[in-house]
Structure 1
């Protein structure tokens, strides 16, 4: 064997080895690229699933908030006539006229408590979901033995405040704790009525309560 033929064989062997290495690297790169593509696809699928899940959770939260709002509206104090009491019919209806349209409440009163000479309570938004904050004016009329005193002070007609813009203003999205001092002349009050008017002066709540219902 000559020196030239030896180096030719070495060169050929090296070339074959290099080709083999290149083939192996090509196969490895192809497999890696395939795995990366699969991983990217899986990541995209999982991202889409997470977006769908977040959207579903958002909708469920909105449904829960709406349900809580409805439950809150159903538990707001409401005055119901006694079964034995006759239902009062407006004079306009008795005369054949059209009865006034009943307006839905914009806010309700909950969690009443009497602390010495201060009446504590919570006013809650009763607007349907999506209609924003409730705005209006609040009165509390304290009564005893045929006399009555409104807070804040206002002219009265048939036991109802007529100067509606004198009421305590409120703007609430959810609820707001409030407290009202009991007028000194009404320290022994027997019952009271909450009145809520909207910004147009229309009555949106009339809620009478006996003192025994609070203490």
Structure 2
């Protein structure tokens, strides 16, 4: 049964569907961040759109698979960023929703899309070729981004400032937890799967 699921996940029609969905989500994500990017100094703009950059990395990875190529670096970066920012967005939305007593419809869309970001990269763990030794690059990426976000105020806009201190504390904790999770999932090289 597991083999059937994995074969379906790596089938070209399914990968094309996943590629299109992630590409459209990535484009919309950059559009979502347009105002914050316009209000941010150009040299910090790379650090502003965390989620669309993450989904964009996975979109590129899917394209590589469709071209029968691979990149351990891209696999690792797409995995750690999508897990971290997928969980981060859901956590922030639920925090505000619990405090406010409700979650708006638009935020439920964000919960679904960001939750899917984390789930989809975990589903493809079997197909990745990178091992845990690549994670030092991911650690630099995530933790430097956290530093820039909360020292220079480049983090995604929050609903308001009520939970800024909490988010500032828990975001690097989530980065470390993500790295530890991925390290546990990548104990050795995986079986190579081909499209």
- Which structure shows the bigger proportion of residues in helix conformation? 2
Q: Which has the bigger relative contact order, CA under 8 A and spacing at least 6?
A: 2
- Assess same fold via TM > 0.5: no
Q: TM-score, normalised by structure 2?
A: 0.28
